């Protein structure tokens, strides 16, 4: 194929000639070739050979004369003879006579400049060396230098053969062109096709060509000639396969122009012209005579270059989309793993722990298997922070968590329950085995080495065999055992059956003094149901879901040590679901990037009532409902609603929740304002203490938040990054299903999420995608924008994942992946 292209490139200029001119040129070339062959065989005298013989005769004559004069020792006559020869022949530029040993006897002209031969080299056309003999011995040499050949053009015109060839080309060219022009006028194959047929073919939108049985072109319409960049003169009478086609396959090349008696539809060929490649869809059919024999072929050519280019681009974009989607899924899995972890210790966080706990509880209840857990509390941890600083406190927690993870079995679940408290869940483990495991961990913690301090821990163990009827009751038992262990001197393990029945936890520190009613009358709160509602909220409004998670962390931090474990769990669930009513708010208001109007605020305020109804319907727990219902009540009361509780009659969970909710709202960025720093928020909380907030709880909140590491309130949190990834995955899934309405809805959600998070690049592309998704949406533009969103989302996720994996304890990423696999196995339990 490359040789054919080379030949085509060389002869392409001649294709612009007419058929008669092309044939005339070929005949002229044949005539010129005949003259050249005759000259080469000697039929035509060669003047170059004659010139060489003349120079040889001059040189030999000079040598003979010099030899005779050398015998007579006539050096003077020898020089005169040498001078006469140079003067007589104009093309002799210099001459020299040397002795046998190379000494110069006579020299005429600038011989050193013109003489080119070295010793023992043979004579050339312009430098001739002839030996001079004396008494049958070589006496010396005669060197004659002739002038160099003239210019190439002058030399050519002095050659008779060249002159004859030029005259022959001009005369024969004119003669042959005149004769063949008259003769071939009767042989033009297109003349046999009626004019109206040719005119009709020229109106076709596709190229059409008619071939004879030898695949030679008989007729081509204007469209085909424009396709291939050839004229009638270049095409007619030539085989169609001589054009530089590129075929899909060898079979296509063999049968496309010779279809037999059946038609060939949809063959593809490509043609490269002027560094531009065009692709055509070819349909060919045989032309048969009355006798049924094939007389030729008719073929049509549809230019599908744009379609092919779009198809190839679409194929590349789909490949890129698949690769990006696979990498995005991997990043989402990493983010999901990170979302289950406590960033300081690498243990499971509370929400993930509750989900896994409920699954193990249900499995144990159905199968009758054992299930145990124990709580771990680092002794005197506050004094460690006060004496050695928070960085040492963090190091203590990291090492304690590491010891627990190393000591626990692969099937055990280790959770950082809050502050310096940890919880370990042991599936298929009885009370005795759980006590042994707790004692091993206590001893391992006691052996941890620190400079200038020692660390111990108190542990409380309970098991399902002790009669707990729900997961939270099992945790309450373990927490009560932990309280007894600390009261009895710390650094010990207490199990539930060792706790006296009359033991009570001090109400000022461990019970909610404002609780009302019998807690046994409240139904349990299964955490999977809580997680499902939170996921639904995250799908509608990821920013609100992230806000709820942060508020829950703040509430747990404040409630720990103030109320019981059961009540702390209740407050956490209330914080997670306090904005669940926003599910019922229209997207146009919920996702609005700017500030809301008065009418829109009225609709937003309804979400509190909707949320209360959702929580009430989902969980038959009045304490939980009251926390959600009253968390917006002012501490000093409301004049418009004197029947509402006020002061300490407001549930303590609601009072904690309203403070945490207000604090997070103040420090978080909004589209229309920048978030305040923590100190400014503390000042505002204290300003409103006694009117809007419980003053004692405000001071506790400020102290707890200052003591603990600041909670990440930036938009680049793992929840936001994960939500972006999940929304992009949904977007790609909708694209696979060609669900334009779904793509448009998801693009709007993605735009709102990015706007809240301050990720302007994703917001810009999502906005462009939303605008592109009209009735006449171009799939290529949609694919391009979705791919761009994937790349941006991958970049955001990679930055966060890499940072988080670098910060989570455990030097090797492989350890984290092993933890992820273990977590996945827990999560996948029935």
- Would you please indicate which residues are annotated as catalytic (active-site) residues? 420
3-state helix, strand, coil in the chain (%, to 5): 60, 15, 25
Beta strands at 127-134 and 245-247: parallel, antiparallel or unpaired: unpaired
How far apart are the C-alpha atoms of 115 and 100, rounded to whole Å? 17
User: Burial of 541 by CB count in 10 Å (0-12 exposed, 13-18 middle, 19+ buried)?
Assistant: buried
How far apart are the C-alpha atoms of 142 and 129, rounded to whole Å? 6
How far apart are the C-alpha atoms of 107 and 98, rounded to whole Å? 9
DSSP-assigned letter for residue 288 = E
Structural element, H or E, at residue 283 = strand 276-288
Structure tokens at 34: 């005949």
How far apart are the C-alpha atoms of 601 and 596, rounded to whole Å? 6
Residue 393 sits at the vertex; the CA angle it makes with 456 and 653, to the nearest 5 degrees, is: 95
How far apart are the C-alpha atoms of 525 and 618, rounded to whole Å? 9
**Within 13 Å of residue 121, how many CA atoms lie on the same side as its CB?**
11
Residue 728 sits at the vertex; the CA angle it makes with 723 and 732, to the nearest 5 degrees, is: 150
User: Nearest-CA neighbor of 782 among 790, 773, 791, 774?
Assistant: 773
Would you tell me how many other CB atoms lie within 10 Å of the CB of residue 641? 10
Residue 320 in 3-state DSSP?
helix
How far apart are the C-alpha atoms of 457 and 400, rounded to whole Å? 9
Sign of the Cα torsion 249, 250, 254, 257 reads positive
User: Cβ distance 631 to 661 under 8 Å?
Assistant: yes
How far apart are the C-alpha atoms of 55 and 123, rounded to whole Å? 11
User: Cβ distance 562 to 515 under 8 Å?
Assistant: no
Task: Mention every residue, 6+ apart, whose C-beta is less than 8 A from residue 112.
Answer: none
Structure tokens at 617: 């319907």
Question: Can you give the three-state secondary structure of 423-482, one letter per residue?
Answer: EEEEECCCHHHHHHHHHHHHHHHHCCCECCECCCEEEEEEEHHHCCCCHHHHHHHHHHHH
Would you tell me how many other CB atoms lie within 10 Å of the CB of residue 478? 32
Residue 276 in 3-state DSSP?
strand
φ, ψ (nearest 5 deg) of residue 688: -95, 5
Rg of the Cα trace of the chain? 50
User: Cβ distance 183 to 19 under 8 Å?
Assistant: no
User: Cβ distance 441 to 461 under 8 Å?
Assistant: no
How far apart are the C-alpha atoms of 94 and 86, rounded to whole Å? 7
What is the distance, to the nearest Å, from the Cα of residue 770 to the centroid of all Cα atoms in its chain?
22
User: Cβ distance 251 to 264 under 8 Å?
Assistant: no
DSSP characters over 758-784 = T-HHHHHHHHHHHHH-STT--HHHHHH
How far apart are the C-alpha atoms of 560 and 509, rounded to whole Å? 9
User: Cβ distance 394 to 385 under 8 Å?
Assistant: no
Structure tokens at 781: 């533009």
How far apart are the C-alpha atoms of 269 and 779, rounded to whole Å? 26
How far apart are the C-alpha atoms of 347 and 334, rounded to whole Å? 15
């Amino acid at each position: 194929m490359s040789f054919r292209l080379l030949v085509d490139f060389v002869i392409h200029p001649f294709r612009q000639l007419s058929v008669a001119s092309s044939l005339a040129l070929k005949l002229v070339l044949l005539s010129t070739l005949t003259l050249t062959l005759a000259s080469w065989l000697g039929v035509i005298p060669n003047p170059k050979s004659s010139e060489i013989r003349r120079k040889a005769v001059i040189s030999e004559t000079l040598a003979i004369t010099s030899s005779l004069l050398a015998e007579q020792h006539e050096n003077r006559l020898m020089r005169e003879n040498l001078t006469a020869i140079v003067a007589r022949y104009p093309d002799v530029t210099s001459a020299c006579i040397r002795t046998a040993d190379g000494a110069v006897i006579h020299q005429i002209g600038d011989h050193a400049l013109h003489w080119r031969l070295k010793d023992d080299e043979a004579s050339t056309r312009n430098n001739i060396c002839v030996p001079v003999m004396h008494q049958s011995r070589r006496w010396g040499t005669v060197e004659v230098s002739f002038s160099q050949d003239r210019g190439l053009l002058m030399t050519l015109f002095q050659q008779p053969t060249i002159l004859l060839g030029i005259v022959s080309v001009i005369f024969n060219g004119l003669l042959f062109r005149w004769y063949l022009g008259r003769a071939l006028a009767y042989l033009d194959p297109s003349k046999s096709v009626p004019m109206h047929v040719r005119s009709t073919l020229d109106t076709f939108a596709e190229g059409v060509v008619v071939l004879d049985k030898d695949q030679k072109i008989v007729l081509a319409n204007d469209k085909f000639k424009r396709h291939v960049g050839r004229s009638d003169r270049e095409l007619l009478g030539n085989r169609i396969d001589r054009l530089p086609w590129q075929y899909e396959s060898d079979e296509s090349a063999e049968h496309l122009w010779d279809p037999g008696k059946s038609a060939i539809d949809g063959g593809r060929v490509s043609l490269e012209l002027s560094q531009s490649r065009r692709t055509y869809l070819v349909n060919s059919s045989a032309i048969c005579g009355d006798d049924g024999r094939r007389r030729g072929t008719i073929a049509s050519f549809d230019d599908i270059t744009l379609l092919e280019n779009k198809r190839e681009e679409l194929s590349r974009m789909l490949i890129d989309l698949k690769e990006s989607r696979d990498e995005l899924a991997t990043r989402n899995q990493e983010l999901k793993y990170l979302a289950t972890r406590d960033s300081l210790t690498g243990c499971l966080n509370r929400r993930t722990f509750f989900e896994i706990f409920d699954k193990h509880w249900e499995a144990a209840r159905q199968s009758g298997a054992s299930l145990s857990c124990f709580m771990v509390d680092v002794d005197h941890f506050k004094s460690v922070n006060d004496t050695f600083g928070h960085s040492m406190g963090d190091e203590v927690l990291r090492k304690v968590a590491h010891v627990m993870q190393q000591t626990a079995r692969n099937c055990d679940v280790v959770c950082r329950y809050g502050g310096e408290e940890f919880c370990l869940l042991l599936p298929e483990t009885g009370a005795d085995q759980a006590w042994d495991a707790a004692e091993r961990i206590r001893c391992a913690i006691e052996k941890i080495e620190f400079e200038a301090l020692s660390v111990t821990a108190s542990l409380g163990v309970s098991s399902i065999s002790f009669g707990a009827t729900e997961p939270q009751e099992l945790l309450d038992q373990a927490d009560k055992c932990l309280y007894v262990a600390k009261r009895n001197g710390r650094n010990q393990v207490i199990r539930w059956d060792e706790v006296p029945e009359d033991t009570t936890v001090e109400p000022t520190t461990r019970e909610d003094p404002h609780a009302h009613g019998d807690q046994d009358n409240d139904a349990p709160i299964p955490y999977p149901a809580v997680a499902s509602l939170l996921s639904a909220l995250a799908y509608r409004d990821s920013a609100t879901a992230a806000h709820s998670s942060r508020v829950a962390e703040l509430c747990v931090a404040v409630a720990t040590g103030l109320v019981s474990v059961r009540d702390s769990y209740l407050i956490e669930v209330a914080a997670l679901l306090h904005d669940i009513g926003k599910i019922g708010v229209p997207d146009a208001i919920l996702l609005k990037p700017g500030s809301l109007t008065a009418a829109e605020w009225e609709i937003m305020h309804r979400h509190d009532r909707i949320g209360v109804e959702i929580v009430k319907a989902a969980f038959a727990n009045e304490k939980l409902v009251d926390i959600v219902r009253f968390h917006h009540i002012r501490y000093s009361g409301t004049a418009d609603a004197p029947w509402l509780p006020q002061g300490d009659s407001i549930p303590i969970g609601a009072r904690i929740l309203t403070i945490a909710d207000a604090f997070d709202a103040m420090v978080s960025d909004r589209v229309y304002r920048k978030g305040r720093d923590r100190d400014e928020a503390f000042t505002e909380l204290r300003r409103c203490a006694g009117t809007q907030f419980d003053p004692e709880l405000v001071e506790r909140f400020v102290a707890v938040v200052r003591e603990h590491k600041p909670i990440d309130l930036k938009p680049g949190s793992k929840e936001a990054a994960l939500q972006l990834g999940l929304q992009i995955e949904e977007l790609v899934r909708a694209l696979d299903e060609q669900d334009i309405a779904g793509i448009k809805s998801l693009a709007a959600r993605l735009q709102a999420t990015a706007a809240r998070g301050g990720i302007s690049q994703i917001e810009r592309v999502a906005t462009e995608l939303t605008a592109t998704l009209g009735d006449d949406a171009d799939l290529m533009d949609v694919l391009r924008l979705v791919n761009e969103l994937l790349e941006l989302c991958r970049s955001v996720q990679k930055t966060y994942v890499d940072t988080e994996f670098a910060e989570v304890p455990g030097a090797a990423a492989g350890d984290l992946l092993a933890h992820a696999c273990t977590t996945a196995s827990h999560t996948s339990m029935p």
